[in-house]
Structure 1
Amino acid sequence: MFLNCKTWFSYRYGTFSTQELVDTAADTGLSALALTNINSTADLWDFVDFCRNKNIKPIAGAEIRNGDEFCYLLLAKNDGGLLEINRFLSAHLQEELPFPERPDCFSEVFVIYPVGKYAAEELKAHEFIGVLAGELNRLKKQELQAFPKKWLIRHPVTVQDKTYFNVHRLLRAIGKNTLITKLDATDFASPDEMFVPEAELMAAFRNFPVIITNTLQLIDACSIQTELHTDKNKRCFSASPEDDRILLEKLAMEGLDYRYGNNPVARQRVVKELKIINELNFNAYFLIVWDVIRYAQNRGFYHVGRGSGANSIVAYCLKITDVDPIKLDLYFERFLNPHRTSPPDFDIDFSWKDRDEVIDYIFKRYGKDHVSLLGMYSTFQRRAVIRELGKVFGLPKEEIDQLVRGKDQPMNEDKIQRTILKYGKLLENFPNHHSIHPGGMLISEKPIYQYTVNEMPPKGFCTAQVDMFLAEKIGLFKLDILSQRGLGHIKEAIRLVKKNRGIDIDIHRVEQFMVDPKVANQIKQADTIGCFYIESPAMRQLLTKLKCEDYLTLVAASSIIRPGVAQSGMMKQYIERFHDPNKIVYLHPKMKELLEETYGVMVYQEDVIKVAHHFGGMDMGEADILRRAMSGKYRGHDKFIQIREKFFANCRELGYEEAVTAEVWRQIESFGGYSFSKAHSASFAVESYQSLYLKTYYPQEFMVAVINNFGGFYSTEFYFHELKRTGAKVHPPCVNSSDYLTNISGDEVYVGMIHIEQLEKSLCERILMERERSGPYLGLHDFIERTHAGPEMLNILISVGAFGFTGLGKKKLLWQANFLQKRQTEPMDAPALFREAPMEFVLPDFPDYPLEDAIDEINVLGFALTDMFRLCADDGRGTVMAGEIGGLLGKTVEILGQLVTTKDVRTVNREHMAFGTFLDPKGDWLDTVHFPTTMKRFPFQGKGFYRLKGRVVQEFGVYALEVNFMKKIGLKDKKALL
């Protein structure tokens, strides 16, 4: 009887979770239920799964609306009908077209209209009229008798009870971005859209038994046969599964010869992996990934294959990854094994500039009817939902801000504030809107619409309404096509080296980079600014503490830097044991066997799986569930709790002491969502070595490449600082020498015009195009004639020094620009045949002051290219330099620093402390520690200069300043600058 039920995936409308809807239906005694979310089938497969577990017949459908107007219900007769519904929704959502008043494209779908939309005599065989209990008095007896089969019971279910009806009203106000008091009755559902006993519903229609019969017959006519947790992926890459097996074996053996030559151990492992891949029907998956990589390489794109896929020697031989699993002792079963409870996937990183082309290739190669980006959804969280509710109730921003902070700061609450907090709690974790998974793609054997609606976000690629959890439940394996700027750095650096020095670099010679003494010294000195994953202050400190100079140590560092290891105290343990083997303590003899490589510390996900299996007595399937629960890849915490109970029960049976078991579990639990697989860390380390090699041998081109990719841990000005430290001569933007991006010729660097924050892009393009067409600009007059730049843009260009080639000071140029601009006429369609000689001016001498240039650069670029400390109002008297503190351990010193970045943390007592990074007047880097008492008295006050006072401390060879006094220093006043 319940043909029109919604969940919270009717975004900002429904209030049931999918599980709660089905559970409530089961408690009500229902034997069939239809899910009809608004213009969506997002949670259909969870609904089907939950219904089957409760012995309820699931019916798939959707409620079609144009804005707030209810148009009709669609119910799938069968799997073919679901395909039709998903295609129908996709076509209109992707093109943002209104839904038709009366669809005519269905053969396997029932369409149910509201009363009054159409007369019964107008309806086709698959069309019906849905009647609410309150509409029975509107039915015409004559029409009912003439067309008795056309009427059905329609009782919508939207909310659980009166409380959730209020939640629904608040959601509607949020969705409409309006005050709750401004909603009309037509803006929200009827208050009675709740579950009622089926007998009560049938009693309401007792005088219309034919309608009851029609409804039951329609329910009987609907079904969903699709099995869950079965392979729905593209079945073959070539003509048949057997052809796939033969092709994959051929490619793997060819790659084996390339990677290892004649190596019996490697050959034996390749054969073993190929057997497992074939038995688990993963041949096509490997070949599809190989095909994507082959396309990218042919286009000159760089990639990193990472994640658990790097555990596979077949992937290594196919050049999907550059991680040697034999060298790192990576076991294939972490990626693929018969016990694994979830489908594995490859994570492939491309440059942010190349990723969209790779995605486009996959859509075109495998067909838009079979490919989709993976969806996800964002949820309401406490702070955001309180802000939204505050706006709905019309509170001023100051009061909303106070409410948001209220969790940590008690306040006197009035009735409205209490209402906001009450409903804010109820709304936490509600889905808010559809979004895109960071990189997941689905490639299906049947049309993708058999399983999901595809929307078209601004990204421009079809995106599934299902998320990764539902894709897994359906049986679709995702392929992660990700982007990162580190690969952009590498690609751009190689291009610049070729252009500037005429040198071709084979960046895949990673094995040679790993044994290069200069590269090793670069890591050991932690001179890694700009290098992928190893440039942050914390990572540079860790590299110094570990005296890192080799690949295996860098792999470990890539993992122990993660919060799970660091916050549990295991990072410190690892460093201590790395330096002093006498400090290695194993919790149990079994742990030595499992964790000897990592000094008794769990560092990788593989370590957790090994401990769970060999120490905790879990089978590989259970260990894999633990890994997923630990890394947040399950919804909710039920799985984690179950595994915990099983772990402790097994350990008791095995006779371990309770304290030992508890400590092992604490270490496992502390990973919670932050641990890496070893293969993942190894993949990151490979890319880090590629960056390090370029920074070591071609530091200027490398730093320009980092600047041109606008990505990294630090802001752009500090990469220019590093560039200057290499000896490069950095010039401000110049209309004759600069390009759109920063360029380099020899050791001469011109800042790109893109960094002129207020420069119109159209003018920038015109400047470059005109220069390309007609040669360099002769002077200001020539520039104005050829580009017709307006006065505001001219002032900006002059201020930043873009006409320095003229030899005239900025003040003279500004005076000339003002005069010439007034004489500027309309743009000419073609260049003049004869150029007028520029008018000569006799101007007084205007004094120029070097520090004025720095102020202009800050105003125009956002940072200065000259020495910033020349602007500082503190002369640094009585201070020391960062490079000197190594000899002042335990002493209290003062240092003048420019703030680079801060990292806020909470102590075990939830107090606020921070770590800081500064540059000193010599350009050296300084790390600082700010404990809670210091933070309260001397908080950071934004970027700029600070005079710091504190005690020099040291840990594992890393020196820092434990700050007990900090004062923000301003810039010199204008008179002092002149």
Structure 2
Amino acid sequence: MYLNCHTYYSLRFGTLSEVELLKLAQENHVNHLVLTDINNTSAGLNFVRKAPEFGVKPILGIDFRNGVDQCFVGIAKNNNGYQELNNFLSDHLHLEKEIKSQAPAFKDVYIIYPFQKVLLNGQKNFLEHEYIGISIRDLRRLPFSEILEYRDKLVVQQPVTFRNKRDFNAHRLLRAIDNNILLSKLTPAEEADPEEKMLPLNDLKSAFSEYSFILENTERLLQSCNIFFDFSEERKPQNLVTYLGDTTKDEALLEELCQEGLPERYKHTSIGSVILERLQKELDLIKKMGFVSYFLINWDIVSHARKQGFFYVGRGSGANSIVAYLLHITDVDPIELDLYFERFINLYRVNPPDFDIDFSWKDREAMTQYIFERFPNVSLLGTYVTFQEKGVIRELGKVFGLPKEEIDILCDRKYNISQLDKVALLVLKYGQLIKGMPNYLSIHAGGILITEKPIHYFSATHLPPKGYPTTQFDMVIAEDVGLFKFDILSQRGLAKIEETLEIISYNQPEERDAFDIHDIARFKNDPNVNNLVKSAQCMGCFYVESPAMRMLLKKLEVDNYLGLVAASSIIRPGVAKSGMMREYILRHRDPKRAKERAHPVMLSIMPETYGVMVYQEDVIKVAHYFADLTLGEADVLRRGMSGKFRSREEFQKVKDKFVDNCQKKGYDDKLIFVIWDQVASFAGYAFAKGHSASYAVESYQTLFLKAYYPLEYMVAVLNNGGGFYSAEFYIHEARMLGAKIHSPCINKSFMLNCIYKKELYLGFMYLRELEGQVAANITTERNTNGPYLSLTNFLDRISISIEQLSILIRIDAFRFTGINKHELLWQAHLSISKNTKLEHPKLFTAKHQHFEIPKLYSTDLEMAFTQLELMGFTLCSPFDILANPTTNVLGKRDLEAYLGKNIDIYGYLVTVKNTRTHKGTRMNFATLVDQHGEVFDTVLFPPVAAKYFFRGKGIYRFYGKVVSEFGFLSIEVIKMQKQDYISDPRYADMKTSVLKLNSDKK
């Protein structure tokens, strides 16, 4: 009987979830329910999925409105009608069109016009599928209205938006947030009727008892509607069914591509039975599961990328597949790594393998556009941005009129609850009610759907700023209904590789064809590359440059590709959290320990990782072999751990069976729960082994470039946003690798950094106050008409304000003139007045007056402080500007000699990691650069961290004990002190001049 129900996907309007709505229906004995969110279909599929659990027949529709003004409600008679509604809504959302009061002539849709609208518009004629909605509130006016004559057209339209008064209060707050106004300014016209509640079915019928024909019309309408989506475990994928339009042709193409790939991929290896049997096993299963087109579409995408010269990395569980390897979707050989086939795909798994294809951030847009043009029925996958705690408090604080200072206190939890006033308490109270509700629709990080049926069969689409149709549901719902995404992601690591090759082409053109960046086999066996891994000299290299990774590489004594694959997964929080990272290191360094400490079954399952779970597939192995779960149950466990699986009840059943099976096998309870805790600690964090291997491939590509083309590589790193560290430290690394660093120059620099042999010129991008357009004008004019000859020549050619010109002169961008920058500043100020800007193009070169300027000079110290001001860092050593020189020259190179002893050492701060112990007390790990430019590490345990604080960038003096953990040297700090820089000489000179001037006056 309820034809107009809202959930909180009626964004900033509704107040309850689709599951809460179904529960409400069950409580009120309602067995037919129509979900009609306002201009939204986000809840539709899950509403249909969950309805049978509550004994409800689900029906889908849309409440079409302009703002809060209801035009009409559309109710789908069937799936085709739902698609019609989605087409209509999507057209209006994409083009931002106003919805007209008269509905179009739908074929499989019922239209309900609200009673008030019919009166207002004076509507007299209604098509067969059109009705007039009557609410309980309308009943008092109905007897006095001509509308009563339309007996066959009247149906119950009692909207449902709230459960109770609390929901209505939350609704009013949401409306105020949506309108960005104070709650006191919210008008009733912007609110729903407080009586939009669900009554028990008998009460509703009782209210309409005098108009039984209305109830009969409503019942007839409900009975005629049927919506079905298959959510069963046996459901078929809803992705594009065939690639070539014919399943047989698809299968033949897949086999042909694999045969072509064999000799190319295994040119260094004999193609024996192991490879061929694995290939046949995969092909048989891929065909049986109906995933052939999924593989071919991924192959099409990467083939296009290769033709365009785009770099990409294929990763995810699909990297466990030899078919993916042969099709160049991934660069990971599953035979070499003994990748677990069942993690990739198994008969119990209804979803295809997960392929995450990373492109350079510069290329992803072109790839997305290609996919939309190449395939039918393409859309981006949506996601919901929800109200989170701080955001809710900030929004509600504004709605209640709290000043910013009080809102900040509430956001930062810097308050005593007993001292808060009534308004602040209301903010916190209703914040809890709204927290977690969807706020607005957004886009999944990289998910793209390519469907057999039009996407509007499943959902309406909106059009975010990216300009591509985007579903109104998320990835979990997509998988539930059999829609499996293609992940097209971007990362800067690939852009660094791509740009390095471009820089080599102009800086060392003779080297460009000296190597193939995809020849991973060569890189894996290169001693120079492996030596970088062994010595952890990995700054700038993909995934291996962080202090934690550098530390792990040293502890594990990694010096090869397979070791790096393991390290890439061991570093993940899941392994570390369970305490198994340390145990893995201990067993790696002492193989006897594995036999002594590991359970025999665990060791037999995972011999290469010493009986320690490291990869996601280890969860499947342990569940299957240790706890005797089926592969299907093991996959449920693995998905539940990854956070992508919705049914916590089913997950709990699998956990219970895990424990029960182990007990039946006679395992001790203590052992069972130790193993379970290790499994549970993987939740959402562990990598599939193929995923780690994909990361390691990219790491080796970047390590190769750093080993042989270090300066070109560091420039590419800088030009693509750096990485774990700030730009200053990549510049420092380039210097350590032999580059001569120059500040920006108007004749050599571009917006980005560039290198000429070993001369690295910083880009204009580091001049924080320099306008991008000014930098673009400088380089465009220089490229067109040649280098600038002097400041005068520059001013004749470039339109620039005195403020912008001053920045360039102060950073010494005109040093090629040989004229001191102070003299140039005088000249600039005499040439351009403060409030004018030279306009170009000029018909004639301006005539410049000659001015006598006194001889001026500048110092290196002054230049250092100017660089610090304009760029945020100096190009000289920060140790050169210390107020008090260091008392010693100890550095990283001396740690070995001081092992077990205390050391007095200075370091320039690179990065600090603040963390907490299991007791919640703060401690710090800090990485620093010593006086010789080498990196060392320190740790401040809680007692020391409570006493000493890092106060931003600068040089710190440490006194502490040198310790070694598994061969990794660090300093346990006992005390530390930040060192002062000298006073800024630019202002010191000014102060001296003023004092001298005052003295002369006397």
Report the TM-score, using the length of structure 1 for normalisation.
0.96
Moved more, 210-219 or 485-494: 210-219
Shift in alpha-carbon separation, 1:353–1:23, aligned structure 2, 3 A: same
Describe how 1:820-899 pairs up with structure 2 within 5 A: 820-822=831-833, 830=841, 832=843, 835=845, 838-878=848-888, 880-899=890-909
Moved more, 275-284 or 760-769: 760-769
Decide whether the 8 Å contact of 1:741 with 1:751 is kept in 2. yes
> Alignment partner of 2:854: what SS?
coil
Describe how 1:515-530 pairs up with structure 2 within 5 A: 515-530=525-540
Partner of 1:333: 342
Decide whether the 8 Å contact of 1:120 with 1:150 is kept in 2. no
How far has the Cα of 1:765 moved from its partner? 1.8
Moved more, 511-520 or 46-55: 46-55
How far has the Cα of 1:213 moved from its partner? 1.7
Partner of 1:489: 496
> Alignment partner of 1:432: what SS?
strand
Partner of 2:819: 808
- Distance in 2 (alpha carbons) for counterparts of 1:975 and 1:636: 66
Aligned partner letter, 1:237: Y
- Distance in 1 (alpha carbons) for counterparts of 2:354 and 2:631: 18
Match status 1:555 vs 2:565: yes
- Distance in 2 (alpha carbons) for counterparts of 1:687 and 1:775: 39
Partner of 2:253: 247
Deviation readout 1:198-251 (Å, 9 max, x if unpaired): 111121112222222221122122221332343211011003011000000000
Decide whether the 8 Å contact of 2:159 with 2:196 is kept in 1. yes
Decide whether the 8 Å contact of 1:43 with 1:470 is kept in 2. no
- Distance in 2 (alpha carbons) for counterparts of 1:967 and 1:395: 41
Deviation readout 1:436-460 (Å, 9 max, x if unpaired): 1111110001111111121111222
Match status 1:617 vs 2:622: no
Shift in alpha-carbon separation, 1:496–1:16, aligned structure 2, 3 A: same
Shift in alpha-carbon separation, 1:544–1:411, aligned structure 2, 3 A: farther
Match status 1:792 vs 2:798: no
- Distance in 2 (alpha carbons) for counterparts of 1:179 and 1:362: 45
Shift in alpha-carbon separation, 1:950–1:412, aligned structure 2, 3 A: farther
Moved more, 787-796 or 133-142: 133-142
Partner of 1:158: 161
Partner of 1:211: 214
Shift in alpha-carbon separation, 1:674–1:784, aligned structure 2, 3 A: same
> Alignment partner of 1:194: what SS?
coil
Partner of 2:436: 429
Aligned partner letter, 1:400: I
Deviation readout 1:259-291 (Å, 9 max, x if unpaired): 125333212211111111111111111000000
Match status 1:395 vs 2:405: no
- Distance in 2 (alpha carbons) for counterparts of 1:409 and 1:940: 28
Aligned partner letter, 1:721: H
Partner of 1:116: 116
> Alignment partner of 1:348: what SS?
strand
Moved more, 135-144 or 224-233: 135-144
How far has the Cα of 1:134 moved from its partner? 0.8
Give 1:626's match in structure 2, choosing from 616, 628, 637.
637
- Distance in 2 (alpha carbons) for counterparts of 1:221 and 1:120: 25
- Distance in 2 (alpha carbons) for counterparts of 1:238 and 1:105: 36
Partner of 2:390: 383
Partner of 2:180: 177
Shift in alpha-carbon separation, 1:428–1:638, aligned structure 2, 3 A: farther
Deviation readout 1:900-940 (Å, 9 max, x if unpaired): 21222221111222211112222211212122222222222
Partner of 2:689: 678
- Distance in 1 (alpha carbons) for counterparts of 2:366 and 2:884: 51
> Alignment partner of 2:213: what SS?
helix
- Distance in 2 (alpha carbons) for counterparts of 1:438 and 1:624: 24
Give 2:353's match in structure 1, choosing from 337, 344, 347.
344
How far has the Cα of 1:413 moved from its partner? 4.0
> Alignment partner of 1:117: what SS?
helix
Partner of 2:4: 4
Describe how 1:935-974 pairs up with structure 2 within 5 A: 935-974=945-984
Shift in alpha-carbon separation, 1:872–1:94, aligned structure 2, 3 A: farther
Deviation readout 1:595-633 (Å, 9 max, x if unpaired): 211011110011111001111111111111111111111
How far has the Cα of 1:878 moved from its partner? 4.6
Decide whether the 8 Å contact of 2:291 with 2:352 is kept in 1. no
Partner of 2:751: 740
Aligned partner letter, 1:451: F
Decide whether the 8 Å contact of 1:811 with 1:846 is kept in 2. yes
Moved more, 422-431 or 84-93: 422-431
Match status 1:921 vs 2:927: no
- Distance in 2 (alpha carbons) for counterparts of 1:846 and 1:826: 26
Decide whether the 8 Å contact of 1:586 with 1:592 is kept in 2. no
How far has the Cα of 1:879 moved from its partner? 6.4
Give 2:782's match in structure 1, choosing from 758, 766, 771.
771
Deviation readout 1:275-318 (Å, 9 max, x if unpaired): 11111111111000000000000000011110110110010001
- Distance in 2 (alpha carbons) for counterparts of 1:867 and 1:98: 63
- Distance in 1 (alpha carbons) for counterparts of 2:125 and 2:859: 86
Decide whether the 8 Å contact of 1:121 with 1:147 is kept in 2. no
- Distance in 1 (alpha carbons) for counterparts of 2:548 and 2:724: 11
How far has the Cα of 1:47 moved from its partner? 0.1
Describe how 1:305-344 pairs up with structure 2 within 5 A: 305-344=314-353
Decide whether the 8 Å contact of 2:802 with 2:833 is kept in 1. no
Decide whether the 8 Å contact of 2:72 with 2:103 is kept in 1. no
Match status 1:129 vs 2:103: no
Match status 1:514 vs 2:519: no
How far has the Cα of 1:800 moved from its partner? 1.5
> Alignment partner of 2:198: what SS?
coil
How far has the Cα of 1:430 moved from its partner? 1.9
Match status 1:190 vs 2:193: yes
Deviation readout 1:527-547 (Å, 9 max, x if unpaired): 100000001110011111111
- Distance in 1 (alpha carbons) for counterparts of 2:175 and 2:837: 53
Decide whether the 8 Å contact of 2:711 with 2:739 is kept in 1. yes
Decide whether the 8 Å contact of 2:740 with 2:759 is kept in 1. yes
Partner of 1:53: 53
- Distance in 1 (alpha carbons) for counterparts of 2:859 and 2:795: 26
Deviation readout 1:145-164 (Å, 9 max, x if unpaired): 53222222111111222222
Report the TM-score, using the length of structure 2 for normalisation.
0.94
> Alignment partner of 2:240: what SS?
coil
- Distance in 2 (alpha carbons) for counterparts of 1:105 and 1:479: 36
How far has the Cα of 1:649 moved from its partner? 1.1
Aligned partner letter, 2:770: L
Partner of 1:43: 43
Describe how 1:704-719 pairs up with structure 2 within 5 A: 704-719=715-730
Moved more, 683-692 or 227-236: 227-236
Describe how 1:429-578 pairs up with structure 2 within 5 A: 429-502=436-509, 503-504=511-512, 505-578=515-588
Match status 1:234 vs 2:243: no
Shift in alpha-carbon separation, 1:306–1:67, aligned structure 2, 3 A: same
Identity of aligned residues (%): 46
Shift in alpha-carbon separation, 1:330–1:68, aligned structure 2, 3 A: same
Shift in alpha-carbon separation, 1:99–1:970, aligned structure 2, 3 A: farther
> Alignment partner of 2:507: what SS?
helix
How far has the Cα of 1:395 moved from its partner? 2.9
Moved more, 913-922 or 222-231: 222-231
Give ranges in structure 1 of 5+ residues lacking alignment. none
- Distance in 2 (alpha carbons) for counterparts of 1:242 and 1:162: 61
How far has the Cα of 1:966 moved from its partner? 2.9
Aligned partner letter, 1:470: I
Deviation readout 1:804-862 (Å, 9 max, x if unpaired): 11111111111111111139988676554x64565433211112011221222222222
Shift in alpha-carbon separation, 1:935–1:160, aligned structure 2, 3 A: farther
Partner of 2:994: none
- Distance in 1 (alpha carbons) for counterparts of 2:97 and 2:906: 61
